[in-house]
Amino acid sequence: MNTDNEIGNVKQPFIRVDEWKPAPEDMVFSSAGEVIICNKLISPDMANKQFPFFVMKPKKGYASSTRVKGDTVKLGFKDHCIHYLNYFEKFYDTEQILVGIYSYLKVMIDSDDQYGYTEENFVNDLERYIIRYDNPKEEVFRFRNNIRKMVDDNYYITQTYTNIKNPCLAYTDEHVKVLMEVSIIQLMLIPLISHFYWKRRYPKTVNVNKFFLSIFSRIFNVVNQHYGIDIVSKLYETVLTNVNKNVLSNSKLWEMQNIRSRDNTTQTIQTIENIILQIIPKYTFDKNIINFNYIMIESELDHKVRLIDYGYKLSSISSSDRDEDSNSQADKFEAHMDKIDESLVIQTKVNCEETMNRIRKEFGTPSEAEINYYIWMLQYGGKAIKNSFQFNLVTYPFMKWFKDLQTVKMIGIIDYITLMIACKNCLLSNGQTFLPYIIGGRVDKLVSRKSVNKRLMERIKDSEGYIKVSEKYNNKKLEDVIFKTISQILSSTFVNIDYYNKEYNGIIINTTVVPERIAEEYFQYILLI
């Protein structure tokens, strides 16, 4: 740990961030109302100076102010945020590179599309200037490394936790330092993300939590690549273990959760999202953050399971009040129910369960940990677990087992992940190197293209796989569907997910380098069906 603070060339006795009292001249950042102010914001055009504020309104928790009630002081997030940023600027970012980044992004965000500044541009800039370690600009490189230096200097409470039975639950000082580094990066990003969301006036359909999570996920991906620590997976194992313990000790309460569509998996995912959004940005060096996380896990269980009411509201259906067609509410309800063939629903459900049992017997049953890992990673960054494009690729090989499209549509999330893993393993065992990871990865961006370019089309039609498929089916409509699918694969973006090789998680699968190879693997896939 550092024993001195260095201001310019003058060394002073080291002051930890949580003990530091800033002087008025140290307030590079301050707050007022629902905004954070950068008092040294640099405007490229002094005649048209930008207002130096960043609106924190989009997410209420980030706009909170310090409250005093009696002898109790509850520190607001804005005050915590500016305190840590001012400390960093005072002792580590003496060149005020962060101010320069804020100045540039403020101009771009407020440009009202003058520069064509899109959401993609914004997120890429955040990653380039703040999140990543490998910026070629020397000053930005120094700035990024100074974040870790601040962590190393201020870290003084040993926070190790061992677990002999499950090493995944163990925490070392390095794990805690990585979490603290993530926390500081989040503090730098939150005012910028909040202001961008507010300035663009996103509709309510764009969930603000998902928006933040999609950007925060990039921090964890970069940290994983740099340190070789998959901190999200560790958090997942921690939360899931504690949730499963609660399920065992409160089985009756968990049986009642079906009405809320809540189980141990959904509870785990929601808790992790809350930890990332609400807890990690509030970390301080003078507290045990592992205990902080455990408190959050227990609090979520209290609010979502243990301490909530299970009331039901009954709605009356009148048989006397009739509309202009002499139909009562009871008549309409009965008419609706008559449309449902209950026996068919039961038959389809039984068929689905029996088919999945046969598939598990044939292809193996993935562990609960592997299934939960895929569930978490697939929806990482606010993505949907199932999308129609990937769902079709996963289920087509098993259609002969189900023999009914309606039965396939009834499969739940766990069954879907089971099929995905089985399909991925089957393709890997056949020597494929790209398509298994496309089918078993996360769809980051789906592009709906209907055809490939003519040159590539010619090369593909000369391939062995195309000739075999063409000879087997001799169907023009099928051929059009095949090339549409190949085009979509080549145009879309997929992110690797691998439970057994987690060091490769988060890597973009480059589909444009070997398009002929991907097309050939897709033809092999069709021939296997």
Q: What are phi and psi of 54, to 5 degrees?
A: -130, 115
Q: H or E stretch including 189?
A: helix 173-199
Scanning the structure block, which residue is given the tokens 């979520």?
300
d(CA 77, CA 59): 11
Mean pLDDT of 336-349: 59
Please state the length of the chain: 529
CB neighbours of residue 506 within 10 Å: 21
Handedness of CA 170, 172, 174, 175 (dihedral sign): positive
Among 83, 191, 194, 185, residue whose Cα is nearest residue 143? 185
Q: Dump pLDDT digits (tens) for 176-186.
A: 999 999 999 99
Residue 379 above 90 pLDDT?
no
Q: Dump pLDDT digits (tens) for 197-241.
A: 999 888 877 889 999 999 999 999 899 888 988 888 889 889 988
d(CA 58, CA 56): 6
Q: Dump pLDDT digits (tens) for 37-85.
A: 998 887 655 444 557 889 999 998 998 888 877 667 778 899 999 999 9
d(CA 452, CA 458): 10
Q: What are phi and psi of 31, to 5 degrees?
A: -135, 155
Residue 326 above 70 pLDDT?
no
pLDDT at 186 (0 to 100): 97
